[in-house]
Amino acid sequence: MPTAFPSTTDFASILTQAATAVRHDHRDRPSAQTVVAALLQAEKAAKQQRILYPLDALLGDWQLCFTAPRKAHFKGETLIGKGFYIPQFAPAQISFTPAIAPPGELSADSASPSPHFTINNQVKLGQLILRFSGVAQYPGKKNLLAFEFTHLRLSLFNRTLYQQAFRSRAAKAKVHTPSIANLPFFAFFWVTETAIAARGRGGGVALWVRKSAN
């Protein structure tokens, strides 16, 4: 029997249910196939309605709860590709915080500068944390958030075991600013107060839930 996927008007409730289940560690959650379908439907709706999200809506700490590879797509009414929930024994988190980026590290292609902020992406296994940090920019076009990691830190019980700084793409290319077209990015297509979803430069789609205050 074919899988019954949510209608185009139900994707928001499916994504909210999935994010909430992960946040509160509930076993009752939508199937992986249903979440993939909801993500693709949310992306399609955002493009059709030309929805634009403000930068403020993205700021904060977000726990990765679900991801699907770039091959996931609809062929007619058939869903091609699979996704999966992120194991909670090794939680992954991304954070966006307002900041002023050093001149030349990241810039939009247009003459109008866009707000800079810091980005942190980390994976935690017990008390061992691997964190990449850098600068990000949100030009305000197509909900694209471009970023560049400039530092890596490995810590255990808050003690640094290893850290390394990276040369920016601008420095490597010996230019004043790198083009956003050449940087990693997220294209956000669903944003609420408690959850966000985006497609990455590599083509995969992902769902994050806002971290609780505790």
pTM as predicted? 0.84
For position 113, what pLDDT does the model report? 43
pLDDT of amino acid 7: 54
In this structure, what DSSP letter does residue 13 have? H
In 3D space, the residue among 110, 63, 77 whose CA is nearest the CA of residue 6 turns out to be 77
Residue (of 94, 89, 101, 95) closest to 128 by Cα position: 89
Start-to-end CA distance of the chain, whole Å, equals 43
Whether the pLDDT of residue 78 is over 50: the answer is: yes
Tell me which residue has tokens 């249910």.
17
Question: Which pLDDT score, from 0 to 100, does residue 115 have?
Answer: 60
Place of tokens 């994050």: 208
pLDDT at 67 over 80: yes
Beta-bridge partners for 105: none
159 contact partners, CB below 8 Å, separation of at least 6: none
Q: Which domains does the chain have, with CATH numbers?
A: 11-210 (2.40.128.280)
DSSP 8: T
| Per-residue pLDDT band at 109 (split at 50, 70, 90) | very low
Q: Please state, rounded to an integer, the average pLDDT across all residues of the chain.
A: 84
- How confident is the model over 197-209, as a mean pLDDT? 94
Q: What is the pLDDT of residues 146-195, one digit of tens each?
A: 999 999 999 999 999 999 998 765 445 444 455 666 789 999 999 999 99
Mean pLDDT in residue range 109-113:
41
What distance in Å separates the CA atoms of residue 102 and residue 151, rounded to the nearest whole number?
A: 14
Amino acid at 207: L
pLDDT of residue 142: 86
What does the pLDDT read at residue 4?
52
If one compares 98 and 133, the residue with the highest pLDDT of the two is: 133
Distances in whole angstroms, Cα of residue 114 to Cα of each of 9, 21, 44, 196: 33, 35, 26, 21
